[in-house]
Chains A and B, each alone.
Chain A
Amino acid sequence: MSSEPMSDTHILKIESLEAKVATENLDILNGVNLEIGKGEVHAIMGPNGSGKSTLAKILAGHPSYEATAGRVLFKGQNLFELDVDERSRAGIFLAFQYPVEIPGVSIANFLRTALQAHLVDEEELDIFEFTDMLTERMSMLEMDISFAERHVNDGFSGGEKKRNEILQMAVLRPTLAVMDETDSGLDIDALKIVANGVNKLTEEDPEMSILLITHYQRLLNYIKPDFVHVMVDGRLVRSGGPEIALELEKDGYKNWKDSGAVSSGVPKTA
């Protein structure tokens, strides 16, 4: 993989993005620039309240957040012209920090409906092919098939919820997976299982791009990023390789918060 991706391999291009909570006037993102190439794994790290999760929600189209300036191109297309479901069908997947419980709806039924929605035109999902595929995906992620009959996130432990996110990702096979604090609330064993699942998916599809959003370095011990960005006060203030994560692990975010550092240009190539 090249560290200087060609512009035509850009999957995601974020330009001077500013955003806020729809019902408030305070900007949370204050000019974010970021390019993600095909097959690249990027990590955005930052202290609480820096805007990391807001960026994830803006990319997925959460109705409570609103972009006020800048633009986002996904495979060359203006992302803000797409509704939430269209973004998913275009290939964006958001692994939720807090997956939502849907009582009474089995994971199998949910995934079948989702996959059917991803098919073009009037194409009908073959139920037998689907079941085979789901079984295969679950065995790859070392999940018991009975899990598919449980209701989506209903009464799940933190670890089960996150594994369910990875299963959905494995079934939907996105072009870009945005993983919002996937490590939060997981003990080390659960974290390893989840990271292992993600790594299997990237092995299987080296062209899948990943944007990891995390507060802690520890996730990056298991999912190796190509690029690490530091977000403070709604801006990416530093970009570089995995070594940045190690620096943060040692020194924390204090230096960044106090230095008043600002981003300039496209961070990744800075």
Chain B
Amino acid sequence: MTDSLFSKGVTEALNFSAVERLCITEPDWLRERREHAWALYEQTPMPTTKLEEWRYTDLRKQLQLDTLSLSQATVVSDDPTAWPKRLRKAMKEDRQASGHIVVIDGHVVHSDLEAELIAKGVILSSLHDAIEQHPSLVENWLATEAVPPEEGKFAALNAALWSDGIFLYVPADVQLNTPIRVTRWLSEAGVAQFGRVLILAENASRISYVDEILSDDFSKQTFASNAVEIIAKERAQVQYVSVQRLGRGAFYQSVQRTLAYRDASLDTLNVALGASVSRVDLNACLLGERANSDMLGLYFGDDDQHFDFNTSQDHISPDTASDLLYKGALDAASRAVFRGIIRVKPTAQRTDAYQTNRNLLLSGNARADSLPNLEIEADDVKCSHGATVGELDPEAKFYLMSRGLSRIQAERLVVLGFLGEVLSKLPLGGVVEKVTRVIEEKLSQH
């Protein structure tokens, strides 16, 4: 691919006719949105390392856009015996749930929700079904306020080419006691897959949502793109958890924005364990007074895995709070980039905003770059940011080994303790155990 083509990102698979094919059965408003998004995509140059936000992830080297085709997968039946074994295993490990969605190769193949919640007006469905059954809700919120195509090159691409997604709506005053569980599986190598999540929590509702994406290793680069839009209206409480366990060969890219209205609390946890390259852009918007967002992140890298987190905490209204904690351990030649910014607008007096990124290097070849930043335009605020990159403390290792633990057991305990701080802050049923087990598996290979 020549430079100008790469810069535009138009390939044999990713082009306007692909957009048109998707629109055939869709309403006009959606067609217009996809076409608009595609136009923006073509106009927006591919980010290069000259841009601060992409300084450490060189798309020209790490993304083989022209080798990607669009998914050809047919819809798998809604029958667990037809699903991949690893997907079923991942679901089995989840404990309590209010409802499930299963996505295989971009198609929603299963969804269920407790009858009592359906009766209360909770909606959990594929985005396509939601567009047919609840068009105005979706039209209002899909790629508009949270992740519009104007957001950037990948947000535009996703808005033009998404194949399906998840829609979750919780009416006012409805509170779910157990999480909604989404499990996605990718099987096709060499494809580009575009999914979306739209969560709308009305006033004083409560919801937790756990989204796990996984696959085997890929023989050819596979691009998994995700756009996540979460809206918490007044006094709503929302917890969003993403667990990324894709196989090697995957390029995972996720743009997430959370909108927290007055007195809402909207917490996120991004767990990155898999994929060869993983890029997450997360923006938390504290729109209403006293809105609160806890933003947690955890990553564990080995081999030559590359993680890039780009976060921002936007305080728009007074008395808002955000607290970010991202922690990662990096083994072998893996690397992580964390770039975070706290922005406090002049209107957001009495903001409390914190940002912490800690990295533990387990190998001399691993690398972590941490770039915290503040942009404060109000004068009455409490803000702090901190970043550390450290190695495994040899005294801690000696201490544990002096109690009989082998070198590997000692390292495992220190790493799990280090990362465990993040998980203990959002202890949703089964997530801690599952993530701990996957980290243990990765550690045992080291």
A172 with B403: CB separation less than 8 A: yes
Which of B404, B405, B410, B418 neighbours the largest number of chain A CB atoms within 10 Å of its CB?
Answer: B404
The count of residues in chain A whose C-beta lies closer than 8 Å to any C-beta of chain B is 30
A118 with B399: CB separation less than 8 A: no
Known: A110-B413, A114-B405. A104 touches B419 (CB 8 A): yes
Q: What's the dominant secondary structure at chain B's contact region?
A: helix
Known: A102-B396, A104-B418. A168 touches B413 (CB 8 A): no
B427 CB to closest chain A CB (Å) equals: 13
Residues of A within 8 A of B405 (CB): 85, 113-114, 117
A85 with B395: CB separation less than 8 A: no
Q: Which of A169-214 contact B (CB under 8 A)?
A: 172
Asked whether B63 is an interface residue with its Cβ less than 8 Å from the other chain, the reply is: no
Asked whether B99 is an interface residue with its Cβ less than 8 Å from the other chain, the reply is: no
Residues of A within 8 A of B403 (CB): 88, 93, 110, 114, 117, 168, 172
Residues of B within 8 A of A60 (CB): 398, 402
Asked whether A242 is an interface residue with its Cβ less than 8 Å from the other chain, the reply is: no
Q: Which of B393, B396, B398, B419 contacts A63 (CB 8 A)?
A: B398
A85 with B399: CB separation less than 8 A: no
Residues of A within 8 A of B410 (CB): 85
Residues of B within 8 A of A83 (CB): 401
Q: Which of A94, A117, A151 contacts B409 (CB 8 A)?
A: A117
Asked whether B429 is an interface residue with its Cβ less than 8 Å from the other chain, the reply is: no
Residues of B within 8 A of A94 (CB): 402
Known: A85-B404, A172-B404. A113 touches B398 (CB 8 A): no
* Assembly CA distance A103 to B399 (angstroms): 13
Q: Using CB atoms, name the residue of chain B closest to A114.
A: B403
A99 with B399: CB separation less than 8 A: yes
Asked whether B406 is an interface residue with its Cβ less than 8 Å from the other chain, the reply is: yes
A105 with B417: CB separation less than 8 A: yes
Q: Which of B395, B401, B414, B417 contacts A88 (CB 8 A)?
A: B401
A102 with B417: CB separation less than 8 A: yes
Known: A85-B406, A151-B417. A100 touches B401 (CB 8 A): no
Asked whether B139 is an interface residue with its Cβ less than 8 Å from the other chain, the reply is: no
B418 CB to closest chain A CB (Å) equals: 6
Residues of A within 8 A of B398 (CB): 60, 62-63, 84, 100
* Assembly CA distance A13 to B418 (angstroms): 39
B413 with A88: CB separation less than 8 A: no
Asked whether A89 is an interface residue with its Cβ less than 8 Å from the other chain, the reply is: yes
Q: Using CB atoms, name the residue of chain A closest to B417.
A: A104
Among all A-B residue pairs, the 9 with the closest Cβ atoms: A104-B417, A105-B417, A88-B404, A100-B399, A84-B401, A114-B403, A117-B404, A104-B420, A85-B401
Interface residues of A (CB under 8 A from B): 60-63, 83-85, 87-89, 93-94, 96, 99-105, 109-110, 113-115, 117-118, 151, 168, 172
